[in-house]
């Protein structure tokens, strides 16, 4: 959207350069199973400022003294984990790029999570775009005064804390084989931490251990990438390792409860020009007559699963657990990214780090391009100039 960069990029783009990009990204890592887009998003200053303002409004709500009280029902009783921290270590806010009544590009909040995203990979991706495409050195994916070095220093402070790297592990159900495993491996390479599947961690008393070279190593801190929703009700998986809900001598980064507190559940509490009108379904006093302008979303789902786009009154009346759904005014994405053949829709994720005892800090971003009905990969399988990418801004 910064025209000088967009025009130059499109004029010089070749399929061979894109091939070089994907090769560079995978060098030293397993193949990336998700689609990386051909282009970064060039974020103009005016849009960056709106994104920052929108994020500050959300953070103001999260920092309210009664935020935990407001969101206590967000945590499913079967997934409530002990020893919750005072604040999350990660915040990610997803915005669709739209146009307001004056024709200006405006971000509209789509999703939010108190959960980590691709904090390692996004830096790797930005570096790859700049190197392979020989982009202007003034372009950066970072906010404030951060650069690649200071960004990873901050990430190390948040994830490793006061411990030694070998005492910290990134954990997921089957971490080495997840679709986003490249992010895990980039993070491990930068920080020196372990990448462990849930089953590789064993509990003795209240302590957790993993084995390396025949030796037991005690874990002090877990960089948690485990989403309980992915396990569903199948808790037999904990028979292989440990139950995260038990009493443990471990520090969570970030504590699992924040995944639920900062989520779609939070959106009805936000009133902003950057947030679409959102209601808990069980609080509706009437069904809007213009349901074509709304979308129905389950609170406890991810990657767009279960979302009903073309809502009817019958859909609403058939919901058996309305307290677990939201009705949200639709957001109309504007195809603001100019591909060689047409405009492409975009979503930008603003990614914050919140060190212990400090303030949340906006650090880096993630972007996704789409030509499909929805942003996710499964809705864009047959297109090019779509997929995961990163926003670059003038320093």
Under 8 Å between Cβ of 222 and 210: no
In a domain, 93, yes or no: yes
Choose among 218, 211, 120, 220: nearest CA to 160.
220
In a domain, 145, yes or no: yes
> What pLDDT score was predicted for residue 231?
77
In a domain, 251, yes or no: yes
Under 8 Å between Cβ of 386 and 380: yes
- Report pLDDT digits (tens) over 251-291: 999 999 999 999 999 999 999 999 999 999 999 999 999 99
In a domain, 309, yes or no: no
Predicted model pTM: 0.94
> What pLDDT score was predicted for residue 228?
84
Distance CA 117, CA 115 (A): 7
- Report pLDDT digits (tens) over 134-173: 999 999 999 999 999 999 999 999 999 999 999 999 999 9
Residue span of the structural domain in which 62 resides:
3-276+331-394
CA distances (Å), origin 264, targets 59, 71, 154, 188:
15, 11, 27, 30
Q: Which two tokens stand for residue 290?
A: 């213009």
Choose among 118, 169, 155: nearest CA to 355.
155
Other beta carbons less than 10 A from residue 43's beta carbon? 25
Distance CA 139, CA 394 (A): 5
CA distances (Å), origin 34, targets 180, 207, 380:
8, 36, 11
> What pLDDT score was predicted for residue 299?
87
> What pLDDT score was predicted for residue 179?
92
Distance CA 389, CA 79 (A): 32
In a domain, 30, yes or no: yes
In a domain, 9, yes or no: yes
Q: How many domains does the chain have?
A: 1
In a domain, 191, yes or no: yes
Distance CA 157, CA 160 (A): 6
Q: Which two tokens stand for residue 104?
A: 């200006």
In a domain, 161, yes or no: yes
337-343 long-range Cβ contacts below 8 angstroms, 24+ apart? 337/1, 337/6, 337/39, 337/41, 337/369, 337/385, 338/6, 338/10, 339/10, 339/38, 339/39, 339/384, 339/385, 340/10, 340/13, 340/385, 342/371
State which residues of the chain have pLDDT below 70.
232-234, 301-304, 373-374, 376-381
């Amino acid at each position: 959207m910064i025209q000088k960069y967009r025009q130059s990029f499109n004029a010089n783009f070749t399929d061979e350069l894109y091939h070089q990009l994907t090769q560079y990204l995978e060098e030293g890592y397993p193949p990336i199973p998700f689609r990386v887009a051909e282009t970064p998003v060039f974020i103009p200053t005016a849009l960056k400022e709106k994104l920052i303002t929108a994020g500050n409004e959300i953070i103001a709500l999260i920092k309210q003294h009664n935020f935990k009280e407001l969101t206590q029902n967000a945590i499913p009783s079967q997934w409530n984990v002990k020893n919750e921290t005072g604040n999350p270590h990660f915040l990610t806010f997803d915005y669709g790029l739209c146009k307001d009544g004056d024709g200006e590009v405006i971000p509209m909040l789509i999703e939010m999570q108190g959960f980590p995203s691709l904090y390692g990979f996004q830096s790797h991706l930005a570096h790859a775009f700049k190197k392979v495409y020989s982009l202007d050195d003034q372009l950066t994916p970072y906010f404030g005064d951060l650069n690649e070095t200071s960004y990873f220093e901050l990430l190390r402070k948040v994830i490793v804390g006061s411990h030694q790297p070998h005492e910290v592990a990134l954990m997921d159900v089957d971490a080495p084989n997840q679709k986003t495993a490249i992010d895990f491996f980039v993070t491990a390479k930068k920080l020196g931490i372990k990448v462990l599947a849930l089953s590789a961690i064993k509990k003795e008393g209240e302590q957790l251990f993993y084995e390396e070279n025949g030796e037991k190593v005690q874990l002090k801190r877990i960089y948690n990438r485990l989403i309980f929703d992915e396990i569903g009700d199948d808790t037999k998986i904990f028979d292989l390792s440990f139950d995260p809900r038990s009493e443990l001598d471990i520090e969570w980064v970030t504590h699992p409860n924040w995944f639920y507190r900062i989520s779609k559940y939070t959106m009805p509490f936000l009133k902003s020009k950057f947030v679409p009108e959102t209601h808990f379904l069980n609080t509706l006093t009437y069904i809007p007559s213009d349901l074509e302008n709304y979308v129905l979303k389950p609170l406890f789902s991810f990657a767009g699963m279960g979302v009903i786009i073309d809502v009817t009154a019958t859909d609403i009346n058939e919901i058996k657990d309305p307290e677990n759904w939201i009705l949200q005014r639709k957001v109309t994405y504007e195809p603001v990214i100019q591909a060689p053949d047409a405009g492409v829709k975009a979503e930008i994720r603003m990614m914050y780090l919140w060190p212990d005892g400090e303030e949340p800090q906006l650090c880096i971003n993630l972007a996704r391009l789409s030509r499909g009905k929805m942003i996710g990969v499964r809705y864009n399988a047959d297109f090019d100039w779509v997929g995961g990418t990163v926003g670059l801004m003038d320093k």
